[in-house]
Structure 1
Amino acid sequence: MASTRLERRSGEERTATIEALRERLRGMQQAVPATAPTVDDAAPAGLDEVVRTLRPGAAHSIQSRSLALACLGAALPAGAWGAIVGMPDLGIEAARDLGVPIDRIALVPQPGRAWLDAVASLAEAMPVVLAASPARVTPTEAARLAARLRQASSTLLVVGEWPNAATVVRSVRAEWQGLADGDGRIAAGSLLVEAAAGGAPRRARIPIAGRPAVELEEEQSLRLPAA
C-alpha cells in the first residue's frame, strides 16, 4: 500500500489540492494563535481532565472516533475554527451531538496521498485538527509533522495509532445503571477513559447520556451531552 508522504517542497511545487486548501483557509480566518486546549464550559465532567492532557504542539492518539470528536468539540477555543481530515463517512448530526461546532469546521474528507501535507497546512492556521490515521506513516514522516505542529503550537488528534504519540487516550469500559439481573431500563451510564502521556496513566469517568447510542468504533457506545 502506498505511503503518504510529507516532503519539503516550495509553494510552487505543492499539489493543487494543498494550494486549494490554503486558499480556503485564507478566506475563512486569520491564523488563530493556539494556546493549551481550553475546555468548553458545557463539556461533560471528566472530559475536561482528558482534554487537559492534550498539550499543544503535539500529536495525540485517540483510540475511538466518537471520543476523539468529543475531545475536538471540547478543546476548540471559543470562536476558533478546527478541521477534520480523512473521514468521508462522518455523520454531521452525530458530530454535532458530540459537541463539534460543525459551522466552524473545515472538512477534508479524502486527502488521499496528500494526507500529511493537508494536516500540516491546516495546523498552521487552526489550533486543533482531528484526523483519521492514514494507512501508513513512517516515524520519519511523523517526526517531520511533529516539528510543524510544534512550530504552529497546534494540537493534532489522530483517530487510531500514531508513531510516538504524546498521549494515547482509550476507553477502558462503559458502565450502566438501571439494569438489574439483565432486565430493566438504562437510567444512566459512564465511560471510563485512560490517558497515558509518558507517566502513570490518568483515568477519568465521563457521563453517558440516557442510553447507549452509536458504537465507539469496535468498543462500547458513547453519547455525551452536547457541548
Structure 2
Amino acid sequence: MATLLHLDSSLFPEGGSASRSVTAAFRKTWEEQHPDGTVVYRDLSADPLPHLDGVAASAAFSDPATHSPEQQAAFALRIELAEELERADAVLIGAPMYNFTIPSTLKAWLDQVIIMGRTSGAEQSAKGTPAIVVASRGGSYAPGTPREGMEYVLNYLEAALGGGLGLDVDFIVPELTMAPVNEAMADLIPKFEASRDKALEDAAAKAKSLVERFAS
C-alpha cells in the first residue's frame, strides 16, 4: 500500500487558497482510488518548521557521537523529515508564489530535509520518487508573458526537488488567481477559470495515474 507525503504551505485555508484547492482535489482522488493507503500530512503554514540554523546544519557534517544535546535535538528533526520523505511513494506539495518565490515555510522544509550524504549528494535516498507540485500564482509568468523573466518558483523547485533530492518533479500551475478580486484583471477571469478547471482536472488525473502505477 502506497504512502503519500502531502505538504501545504499556503497562508490561507482551502476555501481561499488556489493551491490548497488543487492539492485537496489530488488527495481526494488518491484516497478514493487507494483507500487502504497512507497519507502523511504537514501544514507548513499552520505548524511551521524551524528555519535551519547553525546548530542543525553543523550536525549534518559531524560525527553523531560528538553531537551536543542541542545538535542531537536539532538533527533529530531533520532525520524525522528525511524518513518521512524516504517512506513516501509519492509527494504532493502546495507551493503558491509569494513575492516571486515560494513561502518561507516551504523553504524551511527544504533546508531541513536536504541532507548532504543522505537525501542529497551522490546517493539520494528518495531518488526517483514522483513529486506533484501545485505552483499557483496570482498572475501569469508563462513563456511570452511580460513577467516571464520573474518566474523563479518552477526553476527553483525543479533544482531543489529534482536536482537536490532527486525527485521526479511534475508541476500543476493554476494561474491568474487574483483575477476575481482585482478589478484591473477582470478581463482575465475566463482565463483564470480555464486555468483553475484544468488544474483540478490534472490533479485528479495525476492522482489516479499514480495510484494505478503503484497497484500494477
Q: TM-score, normalised by structure 1?
A: 0.33
User: Which has more strand, going by share of residues?
Assistant: 1
User: Which has more helix, going by share of residues?
Assistant: 2
